[in-house]
Amino acid sequence: MTRLDVDKTIEELTLGEKVALTAGVDFWHTASVERLNIPALRMSDGPNGVRGTRFFNGIPAACFPCATALGATWNTDLLHEVGQLMGEEAIAKGSHIILGPTINIQRSPLGGRGFESFAEDGLLSGTLAGHFCRGVQEKGVAATLKHFVCNDQEHERMAVNSIVTMRALREIYLLPFQLAMRICPPACVMTAYNKVNDTHVSENKEILTDILRREWKWDGLIMSDWFGTYSTSDAIAAGLDLEMPGKTRWRGSALAHAVSSNKIPEFVLDDRVRNILNLVNWVEPLGIPPHAPEKALNRPQDQALLRRAAAESVVLMKNEDKLLPLSKDRPTLVIGPNAKIAAYCGGGSASLDPYYTVSPFEGVAAKSHSDVHFAQGVYSHKELPLLGPLLKTEDGQTGFRFRVYNEAPSEAKRTLVDELHLVRSSGFLMDYVNPKIKSLTFYVDMEGYFTPEESGIYDFGVTVVGTGKLLIDDEVVVDNTKNQRQGSAFFGSATIEERGSRHLNAGQTYKVVLEFGSAPTSDLDTRGIVIFGPGGFRFGATRQLSQEDLIAHAVSQASAASQVVIVAGLTSEWETEGCDREHMDLPPGSDEMISRVLDANPNSVVVIQSGTPVSMPWIGKAKALLHAWFGGNECGNGLADILYGDVNPSAKLPLSFPVRLQDNPSYLNFRSERGRVLYGEDVYVGYRYYEKLARPPLFPFGHGLSYTSFSRSDLSLSTVPELATLADGEPITASLTVTNTGSLPGAETVQLWVMPPVTGVNRPVRELKGFTKVFLDPGEAKRVQVVVEKKLATSWWDERRGKWASEKGEYQVLVTGTGEGELREGFTVEKTRFWVGL
């Protein structure tokens, strides 16, 4: 790549070339203009790992703990390291741009992509995102803050009108973007799918130009979310630089005509092109060649960081009678649906093929010095477990053959155009291409051989974006080709899983074939649904088992066990892009299993995996509870490090866990109704709501225990008004002593809250305004400081003035941390002042 003279290049570009530069050419690349040495740029998801350019059959990647897990670390240094490794992973994949981090706000526990965002609080989310971006961009890779703004639900996400007051928009939803930009201005911002107050964000001039560019003085590139552009002239005029993905829907000849007819002045188009060329120059030092091959890193130091991040994200929610840590020298029984599967990430664009995974059972077994046993308890799959890894090819390899044809199976003469060997029997073909395929309509036969270990009735399931028919020894067992029903898989574009059953004998080998037709063969009504590429498939199977028998066996085992760990929760099937959760409950049977095991062995340790809150009707019985999120490649090892005490838990909840879904502030105002969603809770999101109503949640924001204990003392506040002005924020430094009063090394997170004075404006009881994490040996004391800006710590958004208001009065600073107790000091704002900007 050669550095461009941007203004000169714009002068030399033809109108057609300018137009072409403002839209992608495929799913992951921008346009190039070879005669002017303008290269194509490559981008990749995502929020918790760099997938590369292929959803289907791609190069494996490092999978980091999900964003709520990273949010639970409250560790800016760790997020910086994670960002650096993410940047190196992007370079290995030949990507100039990472499509992350996601910093939307979790209004509700039901948000399908809630696991992708750091926190329910803008200060925590924006601070962590800023340090993450700094790590990424130190490697020369462009970070992308998304989704700007109010993309907080999946239901009708492209059509919904988010109705929100300007005060809530500023104080809650824009705040994480604002704060992240103060720490590290990102190279890119991605617009949200939804409307905000009647206008789609990708054509909302007030948000994109007035706030983002003029007020915040940000000069990077604005891209649309995928298929999140809805107009030609309006989007260009509002400030949307790049329509993604390609091929373009809205630019091309339509945009050229708009410029030629003076509907869009050419200088406005030039502004869009300038931001694209500036980004080309920004990433130029990377030296990534065109069509760069995608590579894997998977280095020992990367694995160590992933393990450290996984362990540091685990929240110790309860630990009565000091049940934890467990003893490595005593036998351990691991029970539960998530024990032997690795729930390493959520679903959708955050998903990727990991280099490897470590299940909780594998992590516990590797660390224990004694026997480790397993009981299933219940199954938690939403769709049947993938059959692919249980199949063999004709020559004995694990997996199945994927054979592609232009002609349907009913045609006598078919020509094989492609053949792959796959193991995973789930594939999203959005980026699958083959030059021999004649159209979007093609057919695939997937063939493998299954030899069951046990006799019984087996259930088989098929989910498709397209059509699918599963045959066993040439007999149709599942037919998902007609009268199809809408499901939630593959970004909400797939059918539900259709099932069929057949009795199989142990030791007998059966030929399994899935006859798949691509997306155009489907009879689903896809109005309002985005179909990504030529379709997708998923087929699974499991032997029929009685839930009562499974639970009874687990209870019997637990009653006699020395140490019991129950691992339950959600997976990428339950938390995924494209659909919101219907409730907060665990999968069917999980609560009953947990409750009955706790009755049989009250000292059982419960581990829950999910990216967002779940209900816990058995919580009164549980003495020890860990929340382990979706923990990435090293999820099982990180969890085992906590269970056995090799790592002292230090995580704090980045979002509130309500007792019931009905207690959540957005309960009456979540999901789209008639094309709109009312943000009726206004600024009272998360802890702000529970504290204002004095309604304690099950577990509050900021909660997290440790195997050691801490004290906080000697709080003092200092300001240097003679050296500071409102323009630089008037820093306030809170100094205090933190002491590890226990017998183990550990980390304390100091949380600084500000309580506003009682004035004519209704405000939250308190708001998080700063935090820091400190590591201490037993008996060690450190003097720590938390610096906050007075204008940020005291201001609310005055809608009548269109400015932030730092209101005069007496403010209280509260400092909290692990366990009970708080420190309190006060400071004064002498004069009400108003401001705008970062």
Architecture category of domain 300-374+564-575+589-692 in CATH: 3-Layer(aba) Sandwich (3.40)
Q: Give me the pLDDT at residue 528, please.
A: 63
Average pLDDT, integer, range 178-199: 98
Q: Which amino acid is at 737?
A: T
Question: Each residue of 320-372: pLDDT tens digit?
Answer: 999 999 999 999 999 999 999 999 999 988 999 999 999 999 999 999 999 99
DSSP symbol at 110 = T
Q: Give me the pLDDT at residue 525, please.
A: 83
Three-state SS letters, 700-746:
CCCCCCCCCCEEEEEEEEEECHHHCCHHHCCEEEEEEEEEECCCCCE
Between 3.10.50.30, 3.30.70.580, 3.20.20.300, 3.40.50.11540, what CATH number should domain 1-38+186-285 receive? 3.20.20.300
Q: Residue 477 has which token pair?
A: 């067992």
Distance CA 6, CA 420 (A): 44
Average pLDDT, integer, range 95-101: 98
Q: What beta strand segments (E) does 595-723 contain?
A: 605-609, 624-627, 676-678, 710-719
Domain boundaries, the chain: 1-38+186-285, 300-374+564-575+589-692, 388-543, 710-835
300 exposed, middle or buried (CB, 10 Å; 0-12, 13-18, 19+)?
exposed
> Any residues with CB less than 8 A from the CB of 475 and at least 6 apart, and which?
502
Distance CA 582, CA 548 (A): 25
Residue 526 has pLDDT above 80, yes or no: no
Q: Which of 704, 697, 705 is nearest to 615 (CA)?
A: 697
Task: Confirm if 662 and 668 have CB atoms less than 8 A apart.
Answer: no
Q: Which of 60, 69, 58, 2 is nearest to 27 (CA)?
A: 58
10 Å Cβ neighbour count for 53? Answer: 20
Q: Which of 703, 641, 710 is nearest to 325 (CA)?
A: 641
Residue 276 has pLDDT above 90, yes or no: yes
What is the rounded average pLDDT for all residues in the chain?
A: 96
Q: Give me the pLDDT at residue 1, please.
A: 63
Average pLDDT, integer, range 810-815: 98
> What angle, 0 to 180 degrees and rounded to 10, lies between the N-to-C axes of helices 266-283 and 252-260?
130
Residue 725 has pLDDT above 70, yes or no: no
DSSP symbol at 431 = G
* Position 633 confidence tier, pLDDT thresholds 50, 70, 90: very high
Q: Give me the pLDDT at residue 727, please.
A: 62
10 Å Cβ neighbour count for 591? Answer: 18
Distance CA 189, CA 508 (A): 55
Q: Give me the pLDDT at residue 47, please.
A: 84
* Position 770 confidence tier, pLDDT thresholds 50, 70, 90: very high
Is residue 225 part of the annotated active site? The answer reads: yes
**Which of the following is catalytic: 152, 225, 353, 459?**
225
Residue 475 has pLDDT above 80, yes or no: yes
10 Å Cβ neighbour count for 251? Answer: 27
Residue 722 has pLDDT above 50, yes or no: no
> What angle, 0 to 180 degrees and rounded to 10, lies between the N-to-C axes of helices 635-643 and 360-367?
50
* Position 695 confidence tier, pLDDT thresholds 50, 70, 90: very high
Task: Confirm if 682 and 165 have CB atoms less than 8 A apart.
Answer: yes
> Any residues with CB less than 8 A from the CB of 35 and at least 6 apart, and which?
none
Distance CA 396, CA 391 (A): 9
Phi-psi map region of 535: left, alpha, beta (phi>0 left; psi -120 to 50 alpha)? left
Phi first, then psi: what are they for 723, rounded to 5°?
Answer: -105, 0
Residue 634 has pLDDT above 70, yes or no: yes
More confident residue, 564 or 722: 564
> What angle, 0 to 180 degrees and rounded to 10, lies between the N-to-C axes of helices 300-313 and 76-92?
140
* Position 430 confidence tier, pLDDT thresholds 50, 70, 90: confident
Q: Which of 384, 373, 295, 291 is nearest to 340 (CA)?
A: 373
Question: Each residue of 167-183: pLDDT tens digit?
Answer: 999 999 999 999 999 99
Can you tell me which residue has the tokens 């926190």? 119
Distance CA 347, CA 193 (A): 18
The CATH homologous superfamily to which domain 710-835 belongs is Immunoglobulins (2.60.40.10)
Average pLDDT, integer, range 792-806: 97
Instruction: Tell me the pTM.
Output: 0.95
Pairing between β-strand 767-776 and β-strand 781-789 as defined by DSSP bridges: unpaired
* Position 726 confidence tier, pLDDT thresholds 50, 70, 90: low
Question: Each residue of 4-27: pLDDT tens digit?
Answer: 999 999 999 999 999 999 999 999
61 exposed, middle or buried (CB, 10 Å; 0-12, 13-18, 19+)?
buried
Phi first, then psi: what are they for 834, rounded to 5°?
Answer: -120, 145
Three-state SS letters, 562-573:
CEEEEEEECCCC
Q: Residue 648 has which token pair?
A: 């002292």
Question: Each residue of 558-600: pLDDT tens digit?
Answer: 999 999 999 999 999 999 998 999 999 999 999 999 999 999 9
Q: Give me the pLDDT at residue 404, please.
A: 98
Question: Each residue of 53-76: pLDDT tens digit?
Answer: 998 889 999 999 999 999 999 999
Task: Confirm if 604 and 567 have CB atoms less than 8 A apart.
Answer: no
Distance CA 139, CA 283 (A): 10
Distance CA 687, CA 14 (A): 54
Distance CA 177, CA 98 (A): 16
CATH number for the domain whose boundaries are 388-543 = 2.60.120.260
Least-confidence region, from 271-280, 490-499, 631-640, 690-699: 490-499
Helix, strand, or coil (residue 426): strand
Question: C-alpha dihedral over 738, 740, 741, 743, to 10 degrees?
Answer: 180
Q: Where are the alpha helices (DSSP H) in 284-408?
A: 300-313, 360-367
Sign of CA dihedral 166, 167, 173, 176: positive
Distance CA 387, CA 426 (A): 9
Q: What is the largest CA-CA distance in the chain?
A: 88
The number of residues in the chain equals: 838
